Amino acid sequence: MLFVTKLKILTLMTCLMLVGQAFALDCATGTQWGDFHTQEMTKDDEGFYNISEPEELAWIACKTTHDSTNYKSSQVRLTKDIDLQGKLFIPISAGKGDPKFRGTLDGQGHTIRGLFIKGSEIAKPEVNGMKNYAQNIGLVAVLSTGGIIRNLTLDVSDIYASNSAGDEGTVGTSSPISVGTLVGWMDAGTIENCIVEGRITTSGDKNRVGGLVGNVNNANISNSVCKVSISSSGNDTHVGGVVGALRKGGTVNLTSCVFEGDTLISTGGMVGGIVGYYENSKVNTDKALYYSGNYPGVGKGKSVETHKEANLNSEEVVCALNGGKWIVENETETCSGNTSNVWSEGQSSISMNGSDGYKVSFNANGGSFASGAKTFKIVANGATITADEITAPTRTDMDPNTNMTKSKKFAGWATTTDAIEPTELGVADANKTLYAVWYDFYTVTFEINSVTHETRTISVPKHGHVSAEGFTLPASYSIPNPDDAENPIKYFFTGWAYATKWLAVNTDPTPTDTLHLADIDVVADVPLYPVWTRAETFSVAFDATLHGKTHVRFVKKVNDGDKVAKPGENDVVADPGYKIIGWCTNANCTEGSVYNFDAQLKSNLTLYAEWDTVEYKISYEMNGGTNNVSNPTFYTVESDPITFAEPTYPGYKFIGWFYDAGFTSPATGIAKNSTTGEKTLYAKWEQIFYTVEYLSGNELSATIVADKKPWGESVTLKGDEVAFQREGYIHDGWSLTPGGTIAYNFGATYDKYKDLVLFPHWVEGAPDVVHNGAVTIYTYSETHKVAEINGDYKGLDAFSIDEDIPVTSVVLNRSLTPYVPVTMTLPFDIAVDNVENAKFYAFGGISIDGNGKKAVEANRVKTGTLEANTPYIVIPLAQSITFSGAVVLRETAEPVVELGNWEFVGTYAYKTVAQENVGSIYGISGSAEGNISQGKFVKFAEGCNFVPMRAYLLNKEISNRRLAKSLYSRPASTEIAEFGINWNEDDEVEPEEQTTVVRKIMKTPSILRMDRVFDLKGRLVNEKSKPRGVYFNK
């Protein structure tokens, strides 16, 4: 027989010893850091690392963690937005408090989107190179003296953390943790001009959790916005919208910070809109700290001056945040003092450095707006500013010389108060005020009688149109004829000039003889004089004074039947928004007064314009939604004020109407007589999601990733696969409150249109327990069974089952040393993707190099399934290995892999090497001792023990010789004392020489079945050999 079943207590140093292995991470390009692989960076001429890709950010995080001495003061800046796509990220300067980041992280106004951190993951060596790095959690784990984070936005962040050492990998059992979206633990340093948005979920006692920073000692924090929702379980865990805790006796300056997240929850601690717990730091500055929500400003401890406002997006709040003082005096509200330009009212929420746009105000600059007129708008950062939707002001001044009023003409908008002409308004890159530009009115004097010098005057604004409105045009006048006293010389009026002119009878007026009134640029008072011709001429005046400017046409009478042509579109200057639809012989255009342009012209004529408004089309780009039926499809300058109604789109929240597809220029409505032209409006939507959170309550420390439920869809609530574990209790469903009654069963469907927070429902009592060798099965219910494997089991009974047993989950209780190879035999099948913290390798036989040196070939199993009853060589990446999901414990079969003269044999029982096996059995050495190397297969001496669920190498040739009686007197084997291991990372290989099978002993004794084929190096080939069947063991 191979073993004798007797128990000997020997030191592991004699047989198999596992000790820690030193590990250094150089963070070189391709190094795994969370779910990223690093990309090395070099400094620019200014000494900055310019980050534009997630892999580069991962490299910075890796270097500041593993080479803190050289990289803790790194100068880093973002050159574009970065999307981390919700992949696992390990913080910058991750650790227990040292290393600390003392450099600069300048976002330069850019955004890092999709930050995902999970404490239980970042503690694993395979994702960050070492262990115990979940003590401080945030984009930057620890910020210290000289450290600066500025001009950065974190959007759609998601952070989970627990202070359970076993589950979440933090330092020490139940060590409190510090969690913040931007910084976990702020020992010192500066944070300015930062915005964070997302969600934090924590579990455990005495944690400090903040939307921006978890724990603060010394700090300067200013101009920051927190839009983070926090849910924390645990006794004495305090939550703050901006800062979790102020402690350690440091000095803190908090200025112009805002919390506007949706929720702050702590099941066993206090909640503050700004600070969770003010312990013993000294707050020197506490100016303009605003929050919304039904919380106190400080949850516990000493006080800080805070302000709760239901509407943070207001002028008053913006004034205070910018350092000003809001003054109400004589029903007038103003912001005074030296104010910054950092904060602004936004399109949907308060805006910091243009995060939600800039406010552009329009100042009447001496004029005034009508009551209810729109005088400001919010414009997206970088968008072109227009005056759309702004009502034009009016202005009337008092003339000090005449003590009479004097009107001014609104000309447009400019960027300065003293502008004399409208200017380009530029782009929105700060809060701005634009000023009305006013034109003076000038007098245009018409001399209508060249004998009496009688005049008429009109008032025309600067650059305005000159027209002969409001008086009768001169027709003709006569002077004595020196040659014929009975027949005076008669002149006919034919136009205007800057001086009186008389043209001969046969002289037609030229463009230089008369002025076209529309061509006169009025910049001062203008005197005009008549031009006379002896040619008989009729004048035709087109009176457009109602909504335009009068046009005068002069028709020279040649013979009867002359007609006047109907004016074209360019002949009359119409006011914006109006059009002429006809001409009439009286001002009211009564019935029958429409002029017939085919009629003969017999005398001077005045025609009056018949006006109508121009209809402008309004188009709507719905982007998937349905328009509101009340929204008009056209408008005119005389339309009543229009306010655009909200459309609908099931499953989406309407953000607003915009004038552009890029959603930079909001559209709210059209004021009367404020604009012209066709309009296209674009609907902006945001998909609605509801969050289902799973909180642990105060009884334990663990977190579960939340579910996101899209509007109109349902979500299956989590169940056995993630059930919380609590000694003496069974988690059998979900409650709506800690310790409450059951509200939802595991796997229930949730389809309501609101967020949901769930807590474990506990049933007191122990599960049914069945021991089977090294495996114990806990049955909580028919649908909840947990298999626990005791990796150090020393009982004499072997694990054995006669039929498959499905279990909800499996737990391996075996303490491992990261990166020190071990052997393992699994009693269940499991997908490689469901195994965490380990690399599994199949036995590939024994190879011999050119020097005759033998080595074990270990072939990496990267994909597919790890099979039951099969031994493997394993490199653990953490102290424990996790198997995810439900598995099936398979019917027991002898776990043996046979290649030539060698067998790789798994163990399901605690066994001891017998004397007759000495020299033929090899196990992996866990440490270097004497002439024994670490991490190699070495000979095991008599009395060495094998714990269940391990494996060993057996040289069959030596074993058979030792079993033969004729060879009992032979000396010990000359086989080498140890084998190295060749780690082959390749996947499957093409078929080569196929001489190896995997053997499983079936229920029928001595029958082998071939189900897989390997080459001589033990690599799994892509196809099986052609000869198939049943083979018998000799």
pLDDT for res 113: 97
At residue 512, the pLDDT reads 83
Q: CA angle at residue 474 from 472 to 475, to 5 degrees?
A: 115
Predicted confidence band of residue 558 (pLDDT cuts 50, 70, 90): low
**Residue 401, pLDDT score:** 79
Transcribe 235-262 into DSSP letters: ET-EEESSEEEE-TT-EEEEEEEEE--S
Q: What is the CA radius of gyration of the chain?
A: 44
Helix (H, G, I), strand (E, B) or coil at 781: strand
Tokens of 63: 């270097």
Flag whether pLDDT at 331 surpasses 50: yes
Label residue 1017 by pLDDT band (50, 70, 90).
Answer: very low
Mean of pLDDT values over 612-629:
97
pLDDT in tens, 88-98: 999 999 877 77
Pairing of strands 537-543, 551-556: antiparallel
Element (H, E) at 61: helix 54-66
Q: Give the range among 196-200, 502-506, 611-615 with minimum mean pLDDT.
A: 502-506
Q: What gap in Å lies between CA 896 and CA 890, rounded to an integer?
A: 15
- Report residue 211 as tokens: 């939307």
CA angle 190, 191, 192 (to 5 degrees): 120
Whether 615-687 shares its CATH topology with 689-766 is answered yes
Host H or E run for residue 951:
strand 951-955
pLDDT the model gives residue 356 = 92
**Can you tell me which residue has the tokens 């083979």?**
1031
Q: Check pLDDT > 70 for residue 1019.
A: no
More confident residue, 1004 or 727: 727
Rounded average pLDDT over 132-154 = 92
In angstroms, the CA 182 to CA 196 distance is: 7
Question: What's the confidence (pLDDT) of residue 784?
Answer: 78
Name the strands in the sheet holding 835-836, side by side, starting at the edge strand that comes first in the sequence: 768-772, 775-781, 784-790, 809-813, 882-883, 835-836
Its sign, for the CA torsion 526, 529, 531, 536, is: positive
Q: Is it the case that residue 318 has pLDDT exceeding 60?
A: yes
pLDDT at 1022 over 60: no
Q: Give the per-residue pLDDT at 200.
A: 97
Taking the alpha carbons at both ends of the chain, their separation in whole angstroms is: 15
Q: Which pLDDT score is estimated for 120?
A: 81
Kindly state the percentage of the chain with pLDDT values over 90: 54
Q: Which CATH class is domain 689-766?
A: mainly beta
Q: Is the pLDDT score of 928 beyond 80?
A: no
In contact, 382 and 664? CB cutoff 8 Å: yes
Point out which residues pair with 613 in neighbouring strands. Answer: 578
pLDDT tier, 1012 (very low <50, low <70, confident <90, very high otherwise):
very low
Sequence-distant (6+) residues with CB within 8 A of 1027 are: none
What pLDDT, on a 0 to 100 scale, did the predictor assign at position 980?
Answer: 86
How far apart are the C-alpha atoms of 333 and 719, rounded to whole Å?
57
* Poorest-pLDDT segment among 83-92, 410-419, 741-750, 1015-1024: 1015-1024
Confidence of residue 174 (pLDDT cuts 50, 70, 90): low
Mean pLDDT of 751-776: 90
Residue among 730, 823, 806 at smallest CA distance from 768: 730
More confident residue, 20 or 269: 269
**For all residues of the chain together, what is the average pLDDT?**
85
The ranges assigned to domains in the chain are 49-312, 313-353, 358-439, 442-536, 539-599, 615-687, 689-766, 769-984
DSSP state, residue 966: G
Lowest mean pLDDT among 53-57, 827-831, 939-943: 939-943
Residue 990 predicted with pLDDT over 70: no
What's the pLDDT band for 734 if we cut at 50, 70, 90? very high
Q: Which CATH number does 49-312 carry?
A: 2.160.20
Task: Tell me what the mean pLDDT of segment 356-367 comes to.
Answer: 94
Q: How confident is the model at residue 836 (pLDDT cuts 50, 70, 90)?
A: confident
Q: How far is CA 526 from CA 442, 451, 583, 839, in A?
A: 8, 20, 30, 94
Contacts 24+ apart (CB under 8 A), 389-393: 389/667, 389/668, 389/669, 389/670, 389/671, 389/674, 389/675, 390/362, 390/671, 390/674, 391/671, 391/674, 392/673, 392/674, 393/364, 393/367, 393/368, 393/369, 393/436
Q: Quick one: residue 223, left, alpha or beta (phi over 0 = left, psi -120 to 50 = alpha)?
A: left
- 1001 burial (CB, 10 Å; 0-12 / 13-18 / 19+) is middle
- Mean pLDDT of the region 681-697: 95
State the pLDDT at residue 455: 93
pLDDT (0 to 100) of residue 547: 83
Task: Tell whether the model's pLDDT for residue 449 goes beyond 60.
Answer: yes
SS3 of 344-392: the string is: ECCCCCCEECCECEEEEEEECCCCECCCCCCCEEEECCCCECCCCCCCC
Mean pLDDT of 701-719: 91
- Which pair of structure tokens corresponds to residue 886? 């439900």
Overall fold of domain 615-687:
Immunoglobulin-like (2.60.40)
Distance CA 222, CA 212 (A): 11
Instruction: Give the Cα separation of 709 and 236 in Å (integer).
Output: 31
DSSP for 885-903, please give it.
Answer: S-EEEPPP-EEEEEETTEE
Cα separation, 307 vs 314, in Å, equals 13
The pLDDT of residue 1030 is above 50: no
Q: Encoding tokens for residue 135?
A: 């003590």
pLDDT over 70 at 303, yes or no: yes
* % residues pLDDT > 70 (the chain): 88
pLDDT of residue 959: 62
Nearest to 144 by CA among 104, 115, 179: 104
Please report, for residues 153, 193, 320, 351, 431, the alpha-carbon distance to residue 341 in angstroms, rounded to integers and kept in the order given. Answer: 18, 12, 11, 11, 6
Report the pLDDT value the prediction gives residue 128, as an integer from 0 to 100.
59
Classify the phi-psi angles of 592: left when phi > 0, otherwise alpha if psi is within -120 to 50, otherwise beta: left
Contact, 385 vs 361, CB < 8 A? no
**633-680 pLDDT, tens digit each:** 999 999 998 999 999 999 999 999 999 999 988 999 998 888 899 999
pLDDT for residue 851: 83
